[in-house]
Amino acid sequence: MPTVTTSAKLNCSAAALRSYLGATANLPKTSDPELQLEVLNAPADVVQGGVIEFRVSALGFKQRMQHRYVSVTETEIVAEQTDGPTRSWTHKQLIEDHGDGTCTLTDEISFEKPGGMLGFVMTDDRITESIEEGMEFRYEALQAELEAG
């Protein structure tokens, strides 16, 4: 199963980052505008067992997805796809506090590409490239959001 790992050091406390990531309404603010992410249904706060439904536009396709938060702690948020175009999708977010007002966010995404005809378009390489580009945008947007307070 392909896994993409990215990380960024952010100028904020781990607690501030966790608080920001814990509000589902913030998700569209840090998603690449090309994805056109739209939250359809979600709890206000990220909680273990919570389900978020959303729609994105990826590789020319509008896709509805559903993820369940399977692990939520002060330093980790893990969501797994329960419905969507890929055979599987797991997104782990790990927060490391440096104790100096900075922290590192590491994102690890494991996936299995779709089957059928969609799998010919959404190849492992295309999905990996899309994740890496999306994470670049995410980290820049996160830093700007956190600095704005």
**CB atoms near residue 59 (< 10 Å):** 13
Tens digits of residue pLDDT in 35-72: 899 999 999 999 999 999 999 987 677 889 999 999 99
> Average pLDDT in the 75-82 region?
98
The residue ranking higher by pLDDT, 99 or 61, is 99
pLDDT band at 9 (very low <50, low <70, confident <90, very high): very high
* Per-residue model confidence (pLDDT) at position 124: 92
* Per-residue model confidence (pLDDT) at position 5: 98
Question: The tokens of 79 are what?
Answer: 């969501």
- Report residue 132: phi and psi, to 5°: -60, -45
Question: The tokens of 24 are what?
Answer: 């589902």
pLDDT band at 78 (very low <50, low <70, confident <90, very high): very high
Residue 134 exposed, middle or buried by CB count within 10 Å (0-12, 13-18, 19+):
buried
Mean pLDDT of the residues in the chain: 93
Please, which residues have CB within 8 angstroms of residue 130's CB and are 6 or more apart in sequence? 58, 59
Measured distance CA(91)–CA(85) in Å, rounded: 15
